[in-house]
Chain A
Amino acid sequence: MDKLVVEKLDLYYKDFKALKNININIMEKEIVAFIGPSGCGKSTLLKTLNRMNDLVEGCRITGHVTLDGKDIYKDMEINMLRKRVGMVFQKPNPFPMSIYDNIAYGPRTHGVRGKAKLDDIIEKSLRDAAIWDEVKDRLKKSALGLSGGQQQRLCIARALAVQPEVLLMDEPTSALDPISTSKIEDLVVELKKDYTIIIVTHNMQQAARISDKTAFFLLGEVVEYNDTEKLFSMPMDKRTEDYITGRFG
């Protein structure tokens, strides 16, 4: 079933057309990777999917993005959208507060009260983000004392705490060492059971390893969108082939 559908989407930063006629269907509980050179529009599209571009001055969007059939720009309240579509950024960005409060922040914002209920959410989120065992004895300590890889998993746990349906990840491992990267990759594959995941990555092996579908972006366009295995073994477009084989430019 289609979870997110992008139709005829154009995005302008003032006069500059950053995304051109994007059409992508993302199925429920699928991992989709966005790849392409810097400045090709992949992060821009990712941000469009939970309206992170709303505050960017001069940003104008035409076309449609629907979540479960509802237009996220017309038929949905933005806080509800962001609860349903969570985001994890390139650089781990824990709040300067305890591990517990980092995770509790979202649920509290959405009106969850009561220690027992919050405790449950926090344990579940940290377990789902595969970091519970490492932090369960230091929940009241500052999140800033965690390693980079742990901070990133904490940020994933924070995103999961509001029980989203879609998780957007913008180069979530580019600042991490190979061991932490591998943990996050395992985690992403594990999370697929419950979430639809869209990941922007510069690491093509990562896209090949973890995603079901891959979209190759170039100059604001989706050149090719296909099953990952197909795209990396037999790309249909020469530009995709040139990019993934490292002969682009």
Chain B
Amino acid sequence: MRNKFDEQLDLLNIELIEMGSMCEQTIADAIKALTTHNVEAARLVMETDNEIDDKERQIESLCLKMLLQQQPVAKDLRQISSALKMITDMERIGDQAADIAEIVTVANISVENLSDIVEMAEATMKMVTESIDAYVRRDLELAKKVIVDDDIVDDYFNKIKSELIELISKNRDDGEAAIDILMIAKYFERIGDHATNIAEWVEFSITGEHKGS
């Protein structure tokens, strides 16, 4: 019953998982580019950003096709509308990873300033991974955990900001690098927000309640 629709929903799931893993990979590459100052990794992040954009359009078109052909209701409608919202956040994650990569290619950031930001980046990547996992497994508890974990990333951001203020006050010559690091930290903080949004849409697709709205 409704075989074609079920196939389309399966395809949507597969595509979303794929887009999610592209996001995870691109954040991992951005971290690599940052810590090793690897320009090749940075270039890869920017390339992946384009692929993520393409994937967004592909999934969007699949969702619109299903809305048109299948006129979904109840959990089907929630799944499709959540997918449409989630891909916007995933696309932004790709953009922000690319923004980080772009800074890495032009900035002169020394590794000793980076321990907190690497931890922050890892915490952010975990949020993204878990938000996608929560969707795949329809795991409400995991989605809620991601929403709570956003505070960890926010705390890192505030900590890094304070450290950078101190750094600049000690040595004004470090100002430019400090601001670059602050921007990178801000991009990671935003990625954390997008992962939170994804988790909130996972929650909606399971419960019909959207906490963020």
Report A's interface with B, CB cutoff 8 A.
Answer: 204-205, 208, 232-235, 240-241, 244-249
A246 to B8 alpha-carbon distance, docked (Å):
14
Output the least CB separation between B126 and chain A (Å). Answer: 30
Q: Which of B60-118 contact A (CB under 8 A)?
A: 71-78
Q: Contact residue range for chain B?
A: 10 to 19
Chain B residues positioned under 8 Å from A241 (CB to CB): 74-75
A249 to B78 alpha-carbon distance, docked (Å):
22
Report B's interface with A, CB cutoff 8 A.
Answer: 1-2, 5, 71-78, 207-208
Q: A233-B78, A233-B208 are in contact. Are A244 and B2 (CB under 8 A)?
A: no
Give the number of A-B contacts (CB < 8 Å): 34
A145 to B132 alpha-carbon distance, docked (Å):
61
B2 touches A246 (CB 8 A): yes
Output the least CB separation between B208 and chain A (Å). Answer: 4
Q: In chain A, what residue has the closest Cβ to B81?
A: A233
Q: In chain B, what residue has the closest Cβ to A204?
A: B73
A248 to B77 alpha-carbon distance, docked (Å):
17
A246 touches B5 (CB 8 A): yes
B71 touches A245 (CB 8 A): no
- Per CB-CB distance, the 8 closest pairs between chain A and chain B, nearest first, are A234-B208, A246-B2, A232-B73, A244-B73, A241-B74, A245-B76, A245-B74, A247-B1
A232 touches B71 (CB 8 A): no
Identify which of A204, A205, A208, A245 contacts B75 (C-beta below 8 A): A245
Output the least CB separation between A235 and chain B (Å). Answer: 5
A245 touches B208 (CB 8 A): no
A232 touches B1 (CB 8 A): no
Q: Can you list 29 pairs linking A and B with CB atoms under 8 Å apart?
A: A205-B71, A208-B73, A232-B73, A232-B74, A232-B77, A233-B74, A233-B77, A233-B78, A234-B74, A234-B78, A234-B207, A234-B208, A240-B74, A241-B74, A241-B75, A244-B73, A244-B74, A245-B2, A245-B72, A245-B73, A245-B74, A245-B75, A245-B76, A246-B1, A246-B2, A246-B5, A247-B1, A248-B1, A249-B1
